[in-house]
Structure 1
Amino acid sequence: MAAALIAGSVMPTASLAATGTQPSKTKSTKAAKPAGGAKKVRSAKAPVKTRVVKTAKTGTRVESARTVVKVSPRKSVVVQVEPAKASFGQQYGLHRTDDPLDLKSSVALVVDQDTNQVLLSKNPHAVLPIASITKLMTGLVVTEAHQSLDDVLTISQDDVDTEKGSSSRLLVGTQLTRGEMMHLALMSSENRAANALGRHYPGGLPAFVQAMNAKAQLLGMHDTRYVEPTGLSSQNQSSARDLAVLVNAAYSHPILRELTTSTDASVAVGRRQLQFHTTNGLVRNPSWEIGLQKTGYISEAGRCLVMQAHLAGRKLIMVLLDSAGKYSRIGDAERIRKWLTSEAGPALGSALAPAAVHN
């Protein structure tokens, strides 16, 4: 199945060389004169244009092309707002690729898990950052190393995110079992937990990353490269074809199916019980029967989602990468589900899918 899932293509895919254009510049609103007593905060870089607006109820607020910041009713401050960073997919122009379902994800792939038939394909060979989808390989390596899930691991300063500066409720010194760490990493995408899993691998983090890449090559994931176990680095990259292979491999382990589809978990951190929740709301949706899933997000990757699900009487693997908008990956998944379960599905499917993808 591993090698088979990376064969064949259906829809025309965007060439990164041909579409490697720079992202378009966003126009800012014209700056208005600050209200009385307003202070201007500037940086060494060229400032982003803003405007100050007074309201009766909320006081002064600062508006820019992208952000609204509320400040004190008595004091107005003009602040510089950095424009949102374009994802790699946006920079490559992948969002300009049309598809019949009008997906917001620049990369999409839906494969029948049993027959290897490709039902939907959009830029499946594009190699992009995969964010926390990385943690699926992290869980796979830990599981196949047969490390005890009862061993107690400790969060250290080495697990604190210096890549993106993200926060965590797992403070330095927190002790949890390996099983709890893996649960939080896979269900809630806990970065410190994922990094701790890598550090406590025989040989430490370098050996763990080497094992991740070795497993990818063994599975035939030749577009894939890992540099760390969390996905915070944009250097962790893969393609939809490779990630379909990863989902299929991870699905073979019951522990990974269980932990990724769990909705909630409670862990004791010192004297406190902390509640953690899934990052994928579809797990709770009765319209879905999800066997394995993982979400991911960093600005360079956009919103990402991989799943194994039972839909329309078939076991399917679904990959959505570089989706623009907080909820757009969920919206894309729903579009695909409705298409597969509608009367229009088979007719549209004949245009999107080959008869079969052979081994």
Structure 2
Amino acid sequence: MKQVFFLFCVIFFYTTSTLAQKNNLDIKSQAALVFNAQNAHVIYDKNADKVMPIASITKLMTAMVTLDARLSPNEKITITNADVDKLKHSSSRLPVGSSYPRHELLRLALMSSENRAAAALARTYPGGTKAFVDAMNQKAKKIGMANSRFVDSTGLNSNNVATARDLAKLVSSSNSYSAIREFSTTSQHSVSPGNKRGHLQYVNSNSLVRNQGWDIGVSKTGYLSEAGRCLVMQAKISGQPVVIVLLNSWGKNTRIGDANRVKKWIESNQGRRQV
């Protein structure tokens, strides 16, 4: 009886101690998940199973479906009126009528969240946009994203939804694509629309890729009024591959602040069992 009581006390102490440690990680985002990809350990979670709009985090799935199709990366794709955002009326610097290699559109969609680029990738998929969206949902099912749904390739539609736990699977899967690792972490890039306007200069929508204190393998930001500001990453922290998912951060810099808090927290607790 004393042994059982002692065991209960040990479990209770470890559990409450772990919770106390996690409570010291003050994440402002409405939902979050921090996952060690090496040992499959969930370091931190907050509303991780709540289904939420994911905005342009969608483009990681867009990239995987595009790459899975093994289409020519050098094929020129022309931006058309069909690629113009008629739902949210978001702006784009890619003029209708301009043409770019498929790999350039993929890079812009990932690093700078270019919506016309993502729309054009879906439109030029074999079978068109509908077939592309079907492939997105099939891919989600295949990698275990059980509570996710995709309706477009850009993330402009708030019916693109997932949980933070599902998005950790999305990030982990996308990390196996070298093109996604390269394109999503490109700090800046320029393309030519093929007219007298000269080159268009783009920068990564995640400022952390330009921070030397971070070693980021995969990165994607997202924003919609319905989704708030979102950020997902795969990064090495204290030598460990860590997936970070942050959803619905309302402050302009909150998602960046949350990511930095996660990094600092892991580094300060690296020797402890729960990290």
TM-score by length of 2: 0.89
Q: Indicate yes or no: 2:32 matched with 1:145.
A: no
Determine the structure 2 residue equivalent to 1:105: 29
The Cα offsets for residues 1-24 of structure 1, whole Å up to 9 and x where unpaired, read as xxxxxxxxx99xxxxxxxxxxxxx
Q: Indicate yes or no: 2:261 matched with 1:325.
A: no
Determine the structure 2 residue equivalent to 1:230: 154
The answer to whether the 8 A contact 1:99-1:122 is kept is no
Determine the structure 1 residue equivalent to 2:233: 307
Taking the aligned partners of 1:345 and 1:106, their CA distance within structure 2 comes to: 25
The answer to whether the 8 A contact 2:233-2:244 is kept is yes
Residues 219 and 119 (structure 1), Cα distance of their counterparts in 2 relative to 1, 3 Å cut: same
Q: Please, what is the CA RMSD of the aligned residues?
A: 1.6
The residue type equivalent to 1:236 in the other structure is N
Q: Secondary structure of 1:249's match? A: helix
Q: Secondary structure of 2:221's match? A: strand
Q: Indicate yes or no: 2:190 matched with 1:266.
A: yes
Consecutive aligned runs of 4 or more in structure 1 exceeding 6 Å deviation: none
The answer to whether the 8 A contact 2:56-2:223 is kept is yes
Determine the structure 1 residue equivalent to 2:6: none
Q: Secondary structure of 1:179's match? A: helix
Taking the aligned partners of 1:161 and 1:100, their CA distance within structure 2 comes to: 42
Q: Secondary structure of 1:341's match? A: helix
The residue type equivalent to 2:234 in the other structure is Q
The Cα offsets for residues 250-309 of structure 1, whole Å up to 9 and x where unpaired, read as 110111100001011111112321111100000010110000110000010001011000
Q: Secondary structure of 1:105's match? A: coil
Structure 1 counterpart of 2:263, from 325, 337, 345: 337
Taking the aligned partners of 1:285 and 1:314, their CA distance within structure 2 comes to: 18
Q: Secondary structure of 1:135's match? A: helix
Determine the structure 1 residue equivalent to 2:40: 116
Greater relative CO (CA pairs within 8 A, separation 6+): 2
Equivalent positions of 1:186-201 (< 5 A) are 186-201=110-125
The residue type equivalent to 1:210 in the other structure is D
Taking the aligned partners of 1:304 and 1:200, their CA distance within structure 2 comes to: 27
The Cα offsets for residues 137-180 of structure 1, whole Å up to 9 and x where unpaired, read as 00000011101110000111111111111111111111001001
- Unaligned runs of 5+ residues in structure 1 are 1-9, 12-97, 354-359
Taking the aligned partners of 1:232 and 1:309, their CA distance within structure 2 comes to: 26
Determine the structure 2 residue equivalent to 1:278: 204
Equivalent positions of 1:241-260 (< 5 A) are 241-260=165-184
Taking the aligned partners of 1:338 and 1:250, their CA distance within structure 2 comes to: 25
Taking the aligned partners of 1:293 and 1:269, their CA distance within structure 2 comes to: 25
Note the C-alpha offset of 1:345.
5.7
Q: Secondary structure of 1:275's match? A: strand
Q: Secondary structure of 1:235's match? A: coil
Note the C-alpha offset of 1:218.
0.8
Flag the structure with higher helix content.
Answer: 2
Taking the aligned partners of 1:279 and 1:172, their CA distance within structure 2 comes to: 23
The answer to whether the 8 A contact 2:238-2:270 is kept is no
Determine the structure 1 residue equivalent to 2:140: 216
Q: Secondary structure of 1:136's match? A: helix
Q: Which segment drifts farther, 264-273 or 148-157? A: 264-273
The answer to whether the 8 A contact 1:108-1:319 is kept is yes
Taking the aligned partners of 1:158 and 1:346, their CA distance within structure 2 comes to: 53
The Cα offsets for residues 60-101 of structure 1, whole Å up to 9 and x where unpaired, read as xxxxxxxxxxxxxxxxxxxxxxxxxxxxxxxxxxxxxx9432
Taking the aligned partners of 1:183 and 1:297, their CA distance within structure 2 comes to: 18
Q: Indicate yes or no: 2:221 matched with 1:295.
A: yes
- Unaligned runs of 5+ residues in structure 2 are 1-14, 17-21
Percent identity of equivalent pairs: 51
Based on CA coordinates, which of the two structures has the bigger radius of gyration? Answer: 1
The answer to whether the 8 A contact 2:228-2:249 is kept is yes
Taking the aligned partners of 2:86 and 2:253, their CA distance within structure 1 comes to: 27
Taking the aligned partners of 1:295 and 1:111, their CA distance within structure 2 comes to: 18
Taking the aligned partners of 2:44 and 2:270, their CA distance within structure 1 comes to: 11
Q: Indicate yes or no: 2:87 matched with 1:166.
A: no
Note the C-alpha offset of 1:331.
0.2
The residue type equivalent to 1:145 in the other structure is A
The Cα offsets for residues 180-222 of structure 1, whole Å up to 9 and x where unpaired, read as 1001000000000000000000000000000000000111111
